[in-house]
Amino acid sequence: MIPRRIGLSLAAGLASAALLGACGSSNGSSPADAAPTAPASPATSDPATSAPAVSSTPGSEQPATTDAVLTRTAQGLGSIVTDDKGLTLYRFDKDEPNPSKWTCSGACTKTWLPVIVPESVQTSGVEKSLLGTVHRNGETQLTLAGWPLYRYVGDTAAGQTNGQGKDGEWYAVTPAGQKSSVTG
């Protein structure tokens, strides 16, 4: 089953390709001649002009992107870190902080979306000196105190912490980069 966003992008891309093919054939060129003009498909459009790149679709393989990290208080967890949309950020016990090393790959990234960032990230409540990055398959993944950060696909609204304690290895991250624990 194709997620709705991908299906809509695919349909728009096919419609664009058909229109481009029709335009190419109206000036006497063949469909093969029109193919080089097709790279302007919606699937490769600039994220700034398309739907938000942060995905909350379960099973999505798209990384989560953010340009800001914030702190908020989560009931029972205390102070945790979120992205610019208020979605909880997590760390994975199997990753390594020094040097930063991610181990979640393949099927893992369908559930735990690596947080991909642009060159600079704004912060509020998180010490900027604790933020860093690690290279991941040609992209830049955000780290906090060396720990690579992720979003959980089961968190679909701001403030949710459904990934807390999953498999005894995934934890909401505190502003100091520690794993959050239940507070009394």
Q: Give the pLDDT band (50/70/90) at residue 85.
A: very high
- Note the pLDDT tens digit of each residue in 104-149: 999 999 999 999 998 788 899 999 999 999 999 999 999 999 999 9
User: What pTM, to 2 d.p., does this model score?
Assistant: 0.66
Contact (Cβ atoms closer than 8 angstroms) between residue 174 and residue 80: yes
CA–CA separation, 174 and 24 (whole Å): 56
- The answer for 140, left when phi > 0, alpha when psi is -120 to 50, beta otherwise, is beta
